[in-house]
Amino acid sequence: METDPAVPQPQEPGPAGLRAAGPGPGGTLAEPLASLSGSQLWSRGHLLTEQANALSENLDQLDTAALVELFCENDRRPQEAVAAAAQPLAEAVDGIAARLQRGGRLFYLGAGTSGRLGVLDAAECPPTFCSAPELVQGVLAGGAAALLRSSEGLEDLFGAGVADLEQRGFGPGDCLVGIAAGGTTPYVLGALSMAKAIGALAIAIACVPTDQVAMPCDIDIRLLTGPELLTGSTRLKAGTATKMALNILSTGVMVKLGKVYGNRMVDVAVTNAKLEDRALRILADLADLSRQRGRELLQQAEGSVRLALLMAAADIELEAAQGAMAEHGPGLRSALAALGAQLPASPVPAESAAP
């Protein structure tokens, strides 16, 4: 398979990298991952995500209660893996937020389960944070059809990830989170290589250690959940840890962008009865407004909880609130301070919160 010479190819794995199933010097992969094709079978058995879990060797012989207990016990590992990756996750939140504050966008990209998890997290951002749909995008190998019918064969196309990003106008000011549980997916590696080449922020998420697979990136997040109870099924612990990491990334970034006050989603999109109720409760809790007054103010603020709170606290009209937010925002806290206003029920300061 031909690759674009303008896009740097992944470095050839070292002795701990992919091993050729057939003869080869040192048993290492003699060609870059970009050249993988269906006719070239490389052994990935040494990868952490492909190893057999000794705890589930008799999985098919367990009674139901024992099977469920085994899964419950083993599913503690994703939390531990995410906690161990706290530092690169924090770096990623700050790096993404800085780019988005300058007008950039965030792209999650992957194939199979990894890609679907990215699409899921991206799809949750507009209703939760009232963000523009194009601000956080999920890119899945095979497109929308692959959400319902698996298209895992497409992950072997190194140039496909690059093409999918180019189609969306991906540029130097944007951020890419390339997700590949086993770290070897050419679709993801190609996209990460392209992101680094043009100066975009390239972030990798994988569930194998760096000494097994190196990935081209600026920030490397490794979620080491260990072998799956069902060997190789990375939709299990690896998928759980990945979703936890994406939750942290998107929520952390939106906090940095001023879309949260205390722990309230003050930019929630009021698009249905449940979300209208949540918006009215936020107004009641933070601004001490009755539901009737809250609904009136929310209508005046054209559905913006953040603007409604500012209008209530500073006793100003919508146009003045919009101007204050444009000048002193985007965070509600900074706009309130600039106007010398305060919400009657401000969140408890962190130092006063219960341990």
**Do residues 222 and 208 lie in contact, with contact meaning Cβ atoms separated by under 8 Å?**
yes
- The full length of the chain comes to 355
**Residue 110, number of CB atoms within 10 A of its CB:** 28
Burial class (CB in 10 A: 0-12, 13-18, 19+), 255: middle
Burial 295-315 (b: 16+ CB within 10 A, else e): bebbeebebbbbbbbbbbbbe
- Here the tokens at position 239 are 């998928």
Residue with tokens 């249905």: 272
Residue with tokens 């962190």: 350
Burial class (CB in 10 A: 0-12, 13-18, 19+), 41: exposed
**Do residues 280 and 295 lie in contact, with contact meaning Cβ atoms separated by under 8 Å?**
yes
What is the spatial distance between Cα 335 and Cα 320, in angstroms, rounded to a whole number? 11
Q: Please list the active-site residues.
A: 124, 155
Burial class (CB in 10 A: 0-12, 13-18, 19+), 338: middle
Q: Rounded to the nearest 5 degrees, what angle is found at the Cα of 327, between the Cα atoms of 288 and 264?
A: 35
Query: Which residues have a Cβ under 8 Å from the Cβ of 60 and sit 6 or more positions away?
Result: none
